[in-house]
């Protein structure tokens, strides 16, 4: 555990000191704020455009809160692959990975240290959005528990995205290719939901829908966390990390 912590600290500080990562925090905060502002303005415009007796039919929770965190999840698709692309590919290219292999650190410790450090940084990435619940509280959002589900969903989704990005980085020495692969892996977990809608076989359609990350995220947005959702997230994270470990271990084959 101590060796994993060493890798964690090293990778987290490299990210924190990286101009790219810090720039991404600023850009993400700007996009998140712009999205939140536009959703609020759109909601107010819609309320004012309809008769007073119909205004109650427009849900603030659905039109602003749930759409906000769905959009944030979509934005993260473009931010996490650049954060994960260098995790292993850069070490391979610069031959510094050989130093890790020669040290008394196992492949599992390397993978876990890099995974948890990047996951922790993605949590830092969304910290500025904690201002939104304060605004929503003053706006009178009736169920604050929904916001807990929204952030839990983002955090679990980011763990899956980081795991898939780490796997992509382990497959190549080229950082650009690693970023593109990471994006493709993540998008695949979204596309499965769309593919399931075009499948005639009910059983296959349900399997594909369960394998998609979008349905599980939507459950969390509604404040519902079932055992099936938890099993899904843990499975994606475990398989991504295990595949990354196998890729590193392949040097001995």
Residue 141 or residue 108, greater confidence:
108
Domains contained in the chain, number: 1
Residue 231 pLDDT class (50, 70, 90 cuts): very high
pLDDT, position 165: 95
Measured between alpha carbons, how far is 81 from 79 in angstroms, rounded to an integer? 6
DSSP letters, 38-89, are: HHHHHHHHHHHHS-GGGGGGS-HIIIIIIHHHHHHHHHHHHHHHHHHTTTTH
Distance CA 147, CA 87 (A): 31
The per-residue pLDDT of the chain, averaged, comes to: 86
Left, alpha or beta for 199 (phi > 0: left; psi -120 to 50: alpha)?
beta
Residue 197 has pLDDT above 50, yes or no: yes
> Could you give the CA distance from residue 41 to residue 49 in angstroms, rounded to a whole number?
12
pTM score, whole prediction:
0.91
Residue range of the domain that includes 142: 2-252
How far apart are the C-alpha atoms of 184 and 122, rounded to whole Å? 19
Give the model's pLDDT for residue 152. Answer: 94
């Amino acid at each position: 555990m101590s060796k994993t912590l060493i890798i964690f600290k090293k990778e987290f500080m490299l990210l924190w000191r990286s101009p790219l990562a810090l720039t991404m925090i600023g850009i993400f905060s700007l996009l998140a704020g712009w999205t939140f502002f536009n959703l609020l303005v759109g909601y107010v415009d819609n309320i004012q455009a309809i008769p007073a007796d119909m205004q109650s039919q427009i849900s603030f929770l659905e039109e602003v809160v749930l759409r906000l965190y769905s959009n944030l999840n979509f934005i993260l698709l473009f931010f996490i692959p650049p954060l994960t692309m260098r995790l292993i590919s850069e070490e391979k290219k610069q031959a510094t990975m050989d130093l890790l292999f020669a040290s008394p650190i196992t492949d599992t410790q390397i993978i876990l240290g890099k995974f948890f450090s990047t996951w922790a940084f993605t949590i830092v990435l969304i910290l500025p959005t904690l201002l939104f619940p304060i605004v929503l509280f003053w706006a009178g959002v009736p169920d604050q528990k929904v916001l807990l589900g929204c952030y839990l969903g983002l955090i679990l989704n980011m763990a899956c995205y980081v795991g898939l990005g780490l796997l992509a980085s382990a497959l190549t020495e080229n950082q650009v290719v690693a970023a593109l692969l990471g994006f493709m892996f993540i998008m695949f977990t979204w596309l499965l939901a769309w593919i399931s809608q075009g499948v005639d076989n009910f059983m296959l359609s349900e399997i594909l829908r369960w394998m998609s990350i979008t349905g599980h995220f939507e459950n969390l947005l509604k404040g519902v966390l079932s055992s099936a959702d938890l099993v899904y997230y843990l499975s994606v994270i475990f398989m991504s990390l295990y595949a990354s470990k196998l890729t590193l271990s392949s040097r001995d084959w």
